Amino acid sequence: MKTIGIIGGMSWESSTVYYQLMNQKIKELLGGFHSCKLILWSVDFAEVEQLQRDGNWIKLDELMVKVAHKLELAGAEIILVGTNTMHLCAPAIEAKISVPFLHIAEATAQIIQKTGFKKVALLGTKFTMEKDFYKDIIQKKYGIEILIPTKDERDIIHQIIYKELVQGKIKPESKQKYIDIIKNLHEKGAEGVILGCTEIPLLIQAEDVPIPIFDTTKIHAEKAIEWALE
């Protein structure tokens, strides 16, 4: 079993889910007393969130590269970032490490491709929904069309993530807003929906919406275990 290195803390709520999912998958596959070999470096999200708001992605690249390098020195044989948005820093990380990097959009696109779906919706932070770093991988490399919510809907999704979910607040009224947005995207032709923020699965489950969900946290964590056991 290879040792997985996780850059976490963005937010810590979703990092705990990664830890749980990885160990559940190891138990499912290996049984007995087996657990996942991993190193978690949890950053201070307040620092990251401020740099995001400032649009200082150069500094964020430097921070993510620094942590990835520390994980590699500590013995990580695979590295992943436990959040969708911070994959904006993926090119910088990949350029500076010598071990494999598992991209969350790649892992998600591979699962969607197996379903045969050609058009899916994407929910996440404004960075994930509006920038090309995530959508381009799925659309250009895998040929899957991405639908994003309207501007007003994107504002709602983003605000709920940062004002509620990353702080562990789960509100029924926010859940309903997400459900309504997903229904609107379904009416526009979405065959499924990517929960492209690792906190969204804290709010939305498969039984809540009329189309299949792609839980990026679960997909990413389980793909990492596959890599670790290869």
Query: Which one, of 219, 213, 215, lies nearest residue 193 by Cα?
Result: 213
Q: Are residues 155 and 86 in the same domain?
A: no
pLDDT tens readout for residues 74-119? 999 999 999 999 999 999 999 999 999 999 999 999 999 999 999 9
Domain count, the chain: 2
Are 188 and 210 within one domain?
A: yes
End-to-end CA distance of the chain: 8
Query: Does the model's pTM come out above 0.75?
Result: yes
> Based on the domain organization, do 200 and 115 belong to the same domain?
yes
Residue 31: pLDDT over 90: yes
pLDDT of residue 168: 87
Q: Is 143 left (phi over 0), alpha (psi -120 to 50) or beta?
A: left
pLDDT for residue 167 is more than 90: no
Same domain flag for 88 and 25:
yes
For 222, other C-beta atoms within 10 Å of its C-beta total 18
Q: What's the CA gap between 97 and 127, in Å, rounded? A: 24
Q: Is 148 a residue whose pLDDT tops 90?
A: yes
DSSP letter at 197 equals: S
Domain boundaries, position 162:
104-215
In this structure, are 132 and 150 located in the same domain? Answer: yes
CATH number at residue 87: 3.40.50.1860
Judged on CB neighbours under 10 Å (0-12, 13-18, 19+), 177 is: middle
Mean pLDDT of 1-30: 95
Whether 36 is catalytic: no
Q: pLDDT at position 19, please?
A: 96
Are residues 194 and 127 part of one domain?
yes
Is 197 one of the catalytic residues? yes
Of the listed 83, 108, 128, 216, which one is catalytic?
Answer: 83
Per the residue annotation, which of 85, 108, 128, 197 is the catalytic one?
197
Alpha carbons 149 and 124: distance in angstroms, whole number: 10
Distance between CA atoms of 119 and 194, rounded to whole angstroms?
Answer: 11
> How remote is the C-alpha of 45 from its chain's centroid?
15
